Amino acid sequence: MIDAHAVNLGPYGLLLVNLTLLSMIGWALWKTERKLSSQSDTIVLVFLGIFAVSGRILLEPIPNVQPVTVIILMSGIYFGVSRSIILATSVALISNLYIGHGLWTLYQALGWSLVGIIGALLSNKLHLNNTSSNTPLMMVAIFCAFIFDWVVSLSILHTLGPDLLFVYILSGIPFDILHAVGNMFFVAWLASPLSEIMTRHLSVKKPLAVKELVKNRI
The 3-class SS string of 99-163 reads HCCCHHHHHHHHHHHHHHHHHHHCHHHHCHHHCCCCHHHHHHHHHHHHHHHHHHHHHHHHCCCHH
Domain ranges of the chain: 32-217
Read off the DSSP letter of residue 63: T
Rounded to an integer, what distance in angstroms lies between the CA atom of residue 27 and that of residue 23? 6
pLDDT for residue 76: 94
Say if CB 75 and CB 197 are below 8 A apart.
no
Rounded to an integer, what distance in angstroms lies between the CA atom of residue 67 and that of residue 62? 12
For 119-167, the pLDDT digits (tens) are 999 988 887 654 546 889 999 999 999 999 999 999 988 888 788 888 9
Q: How far is CA 65 from the centre of its chain?
A: 10
pLDDT for residue 32: 82
pLDDT for residue 196: 86
CATH node for 32-217:
1.10.1760
* Nearest CA among 57, 194, 76 for reference residue 129: 194
pLDDT for residue 214: 41
Rounded to an integer, what distance in angstroms lies between the CA atom of residue 189 and that of residue 181? 13
- The count of residues in the chain is 218
Rounded to an integer, what distance in angstroms lies between the CA atom of residue 136 and that of residue 141? 9
| Successive 10-residue mean pLDDT values, the chain, 218 residues | 57 80 86 74 89 93 94 93 94 93 93 96 77 80 96 89 87 95 94 88 53 47
pLDDT for residue 212: 45
pLDDT for residue 218: 52
